[in-house]
Amino acid sequence: MKPKNIVFLGKSIDNYIAGKNGELDWLDMIPNPDQLDMGYNTLMNEVDAIIMGRTSFETVLGFDIEWPYTKPVFVLSHSLKTIPENLKDKVTLLNGNETDVLNTIHKKGFNNLYIDGGKVVQNFLKHDLIDELRLTTIPIILGDGIPLFDVLPMSLEFEHVKTEVFYNQIVQSCYKRKR
């Protein structure tokens, strides 16, 4: 079976994934009394590992919670040189171009990957390396922030797979890359 790279992100109506200062509090603005995972557990059951950028990694470290991932995490960074001691068996630092990084990860036996983080997602899209987009829209217009999409060298066609609505407000749409 062909390896798969999946993006699973929350975004604003105007396609920002974080506020201009990196804030994410708006992602929880709609109460979730039933603690719905909105597809996250399904995603985690589908993937072998997670790829994220330095900023996402540092954001997760700043949450002041136990490390939330049970899957291996690969952090892409040119500037980060070390991983906290308590995460050395859970997190691997990598740098290089997207194709080389994927080859390295695939050689380790990880094929279905959760691609996370603004710049990482944008760079994978620029190299046409995203197979699925699972985008959850929160009903807010941020007006500025970290954009989901950046300029691409070519158009990428996706086909709609499904859309779900949670709490009559949060809209999650899933797309597969047309090949």
Sign of the torsion formed by the C-alpha atoms of 36, 21, 9 and 67: negative
- Give the model's pLDDT for residue 131: 98
Helices vs. strands in the chain: H and E counts, helices first:
4, 10
pTM above 0.85, yes or no: yes
Say whether pLDDT at 1 is over 80.
Answer: no
Q: Note the pLDDT tens digit of each residue in 43-93.
A: 999 999 999 999 999 999 998 889 999 999 999 999 999 999 999 999 999
pLDDT at 102: 95
